[in-house]
């Protein structure tokens, strides 16, 4: 499918395809949308857990500068924003390091799992699709997907030669709240069996506006300037392709809420000391930033260079349906600047390689065998280098097998990993070795008349990250002093258990995919052993002393959508989600869990005009952890009006206006570490014009 076909196809689809039905049921069969992030090219209606696919015009309308903002508001998906420069998706209450972000099934390889102020390196304006797996996807992607996975689909490596020899897209957009100025362009050209691709984005955003009730008319330091450029080429044959691409990404953004008020704090056992303290243990000379005057907001200067190699070949030899190769090399670094001076530098040089082979049915059983290898050299230098330099290696083998038994499709999958984390401070604490094992089983029963029931059971394991093992120091972005499982020995504390985190998951999904009324409803429960979390040991005002520790936890909830097609051009739906996350053994609630939400959407089309509106209410979140306060609820109204002009041939132009937070309501994100310093943006309208050829 070329770009034009994709845009024309998705023009009839709803904003996000939530495994129910297309907005125009007469133009497409919802179940034919294939989810590449799932094994064996499973369609959304065959998936054992709910899947969301965002593509085409609606991806264009909803795309923001960060991945979290782009996906926020869909059932089961929230985000933990850090101003306008960084936000990570939160799926069913889980985020990094339990939600894996992938670039066409290969790791993104940045530093976003280390801290919420570290951006996920991607450019939503250049994506052709986003797939979101709600529920454990660890069997294919490892322990980083124990809570879910987000797969980013792009066009940087061409998979086909344009029918007319050339295809492309050009887009410009203006935003009112942050004075956004963005320019997007991409072109693919064909030469015989070869295709080349060039694309790029240039974006400028100033500090975004907020309602007057905040006390300021904008959030200081919420600006974001980004430039991304990609060049790729492929050989394309009848049975497959092989290609590569080079991407350079540069981003400069502010860090609102970043305070140096507590940078002198340090632990004394399990107590927190700030400023100087004498023999009686009393603290002195703790001056507040507001007493010293306003500081310039720190900023991030992020650079990333990435090489992707991708290939697929069908019917290679008898018995082998498909062979898929993914390799990525990333050279990532970002500087955190204070008054334009580099204070801390984080760097990550990483490789990720994956080979998957799909075999033809053997005795009615069809399956996939895969191997994966990843290598990461991570370093941190400077004032806030709370992590030691580490080298992480992970090798994995995984298997997925399926069989049809009457109206029931059965699936069994397993993954074995071997992970080591090495460093140069072995005299203080040892290197880490883990071998997590995950296994799952699922059954999808197609009852009748488009009804289906899917039940999946999974035991998923995740090895601790370098941060959870070795963190030791002040982390000003989150207003914490962090101590890892092993690094407590540097503070007179015993080392804690470093065994794998284990989740036992149950997911029940009920669907109806035919008729005017369709729905997808998902119920889930995850029971964790050795759930690794940041336990607060002590607190001084807004600054906390935390130590990573393992405990038992459970996550229970639901998400879903019910949709009714009133006519070929008008549809409406109601949707909602809720998750309850608790630490067992009387330890209270898990921190920063998003609140429950309930809302409705309307989609309508009339000739070349399309319109959609979404309203939802986020309820008060008062199930809070120790040292955490409740967050009030809020109402959110978003809407899009678009006009699509067919210019004939392969040319079309779309003009659209996308309004968000049209009530201009002061809203705080409970999942954000800087909730009170950086509320959600106020009323904003993005005006865009996009042409495809």
Report pLDDT digits (tens) over 217-237.
Answer: 999 999 999 999 999 999 999
So what's the pLDDT on residue 24?
29
Please, are residues 516 and 449 in contact by the beta-carbon 8 Å criterion? no
**Residues 285-290, mean pLDDT to the nearest whole number:** 41
Please, are residues 236 and 503 in contact by the beta-carbon 8 Å criterion? no
* Four-point Cα dihedral 197, 154, 158, 647, nearest 10: -70
Report pLDDT digits (tens) over 598-615.
Answer: 999 999 999 999 999 999
pTM across the whole model: 0.90
- Say if residue 26's pLDDT is above 90: no
Please, are residues 26 and 17 in contact by the beta-carbon 8 Å criterion? no
Query: Would you place residue 261 in the very low, low, confident or very high pLDDT band (cuts 50, 70, 90)?
Result: confident
Please, are residues 111 and 348 in contact by the beta-carbon 8 Å criterion? yes
Phi-psi region of 164 (alpha: psi -120 to 50; beta: other; left: phi over 0): alpha
Query: Would you place residue 627 in the very low, low, confident or very high pLDDT band (cuts 50, 70, 90)?
Result: confident
CA 396 to centroid of chain Cα atoms: 22
Token reading at 608: 């070349």
Other C-beta atoms within 10 Å of 497: how many? Answer: 10
Average pLDDT taken over every residue of the chain:
89
So what's the pLDDT on residue 32?
66
Q: Of 260 and 657, which is predicted with more confidence?
A: 657
Residues 336 and 380: their CA atoms lie apart, in Å, by: 11
Residues 254 and 300: their CA atoms lie apart, in Å, by: 6
Q: Which residue has the tokens 């035919």?
A: 514
Residues 673 and 211: their CA atoms lie apart, in Å, by: 20
So what's the pLDDT on residue 428?
87
Which domains does the chain carry? 3-281+297-692 (2.40.170.20)
- Say if residue 580's pLDDT is above 50: yes
**Residues 458-472, mean pLDDT to the nearest whole number:** 95
Distance between start and end Cα atoms, the chain: 14
CA 666 to centroid of chain Cα atoms: 25
The share of the chain scoring above pLDDT 70, in percent, equals 92
So what's the pLDDT on residue 275?
67
- Say if residue 384's pLDDT is above 90: no
So what's the pLDDT on residue 295?
55
- Say if residue 18's pLDDT is above 60: no
**Residues 419-441, mean pLDDT to the nearest whole number:** 93
Report pLDDT digits (tens) over 83-136.
Answer: 899 999 999 999 999 999 999 999 999 999 998 999 999 999 999 999 999 888
Q: Is 204 exposed, middle or buried (0-12, 13-18, 19+ CB in 10 A)?
A: middle
- Say if residue 487's pLDDT is above 70: yes
So what's the pLDDT on residue 285?
44
- Say if residue 292's pLDDT is above 70: no
| CA distance to 182, 447, 634, per residue, from 209 (Å) | 18, 50, 17
Among 135, 106, 46, 10, smallest CA distance to 505 is for 135
Among 222, 286, 335, smallest CA distance to 677 is for 222
Residues 73 and 71: their CA atoms lie apart, in Å, by: 7
7: part of which helix (H) or strand (E)?
helix 3-10
DSSP string, 306-352: EEEEEEEEES-STTEEEEEEEEEEEEEEEEEEETTEEEEEEEEEEEE
User: DSSP 3-state assignment of 41?
Assistant: helix
User: DSSP 3-state assignment of 587?
Assistant: coil
So what's the pLDDT on residue 344?
92
Token reading at 84: 């306008």
């Amino acid at each position: 499918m070329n770009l034009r076909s994709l845009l024309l196809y998705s023009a009839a689809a709803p904003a996000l395809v939530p495994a129910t039905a297309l907005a125009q049921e007469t133009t497409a069969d919802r179940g034919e949308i294939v989810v590449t992030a799932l094994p064996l090219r499973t369609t959304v209606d065959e998936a054992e857990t709910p899947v969301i696919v965002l593509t085409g015009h609606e991806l264009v309308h909803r795309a923001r500068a960060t991945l979290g903002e782009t996906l926020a508001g869909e059932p089961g998906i929230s985000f933990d924003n850090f101003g306008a420069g960084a936000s990570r998706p939160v799926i069913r209450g889980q985020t990094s390091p339990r939600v894996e972000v992938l670039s066409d099934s290969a790791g993104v390889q940045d530093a976003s799992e280390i801290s919420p102020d570290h951006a996920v390196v991607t450019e939503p304006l250049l994506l052709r699709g986003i797939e979101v797996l709600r529920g454990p996807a660890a069997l294919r992607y490892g322990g980083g997907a124990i809570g879910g996975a987000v797969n980013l689909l792009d066009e940087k490596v061409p998979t086909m030669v344009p029918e007319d020899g050339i295809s492309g897209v050009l887009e410009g957009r203006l935003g009112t709240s942050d004075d956004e100025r963005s320019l997007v362009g991409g072109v693919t050209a064909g030469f015989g069996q070869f295709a080349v691709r060039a694309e790029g984005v240039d974006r400028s955003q100033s500090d975004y506006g907020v309602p007057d009730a905040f006390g300021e008319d904008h959030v200081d330091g919420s600006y974001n300037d980004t430039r991304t450029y990609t060049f790729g080429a492929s050989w394309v044959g009848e049975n497959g392709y092989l290609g590569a691409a080079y991407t350079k990404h540069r981003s400069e953004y502010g860090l609102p809420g970043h305070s140096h008020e507590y940078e002198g704090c340090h632990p004394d056992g399990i107590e927190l000391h700030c400023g100087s303290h004498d023999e009686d243990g009393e603290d002195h000379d703790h001056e507040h930033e507001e007493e010293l005057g306003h500081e310039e907001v720190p900023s991030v200067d992020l650079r990333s260079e990435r090489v992707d190699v991708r290939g697929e070949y069908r019917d290679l030899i008898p018995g082998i349906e498909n062979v898929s190769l993914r390799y990525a090399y990333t050279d990532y670094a970002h500087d955190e600047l204070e008054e334009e001076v580099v204070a801390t530098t984080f760097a990550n040089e990483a490789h990720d390689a994956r080979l998957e082979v799909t075999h033809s049915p053997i005795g009615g059983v069809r399956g996939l065998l895969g191997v994966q290898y990843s290598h990461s050299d991570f370093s941190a230098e400077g004032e806030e280098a709370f992590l030691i330099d580490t080298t992480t290696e992970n090798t994995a083998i995984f298997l997925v097998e399926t069989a049809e038994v009457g109206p029931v499709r059965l699936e069994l999958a397993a993954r074995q990993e071997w992970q080591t984390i090495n460093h140069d401070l072995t005299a203080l604490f040892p290197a880490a070795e883990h071998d997590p094992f995950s296994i799952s089983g699922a059954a999808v029963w197609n009852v009748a008349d488009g009804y289906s029931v899917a039940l999946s059971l999974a035991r998923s394991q995740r090895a601790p990250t370098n941060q959870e093992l070795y963190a030791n120091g002040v982390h000003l972005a989150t207003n914490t002093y962090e101590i890892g499982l092993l690094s407590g020995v540097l503070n007179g504390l015993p080392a804690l258990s470093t065994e794998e985190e284990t989740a036992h998951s149950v997911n029940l999904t009920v669907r109806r995919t035919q008729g005017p009324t369709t729905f997808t409803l998902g119920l889930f429960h995850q029971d964790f052993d050795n759930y690794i979390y940041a336990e607060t040991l002590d607190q001084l005002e807004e600054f906390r002393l935390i130590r990573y520790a393992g405990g038992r936890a459970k996550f229970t909830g639901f998400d879903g959508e019910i949709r009714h097609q009133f006519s070929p051009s008008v549809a409406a739906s109601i949707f909602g989600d809720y998750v309850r996350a608790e630490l067992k053994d009387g330890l209270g609630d898990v921190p920063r869990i998003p609140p429950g939400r309930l809302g409705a959407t309307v989609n309508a089309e009339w000739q070349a005009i399309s319109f959609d509106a979404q309203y939802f209410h986020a309820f008060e979140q008062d199930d809070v952890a120790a040292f955490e306060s409740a967050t009030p609820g809020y109402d959110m109204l978003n809407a899009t009006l678009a006009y699509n002009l067919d210019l004939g041939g392969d040319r079309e132009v779309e003009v659209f206006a996308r309004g968000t937070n049209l009530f201009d309501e002061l809203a705080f994100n409970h999942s954000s570490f800087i909730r009170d310093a950086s509320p959600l943006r106020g009323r904003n309208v993005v005006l865009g014009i996009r042409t495809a050829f």
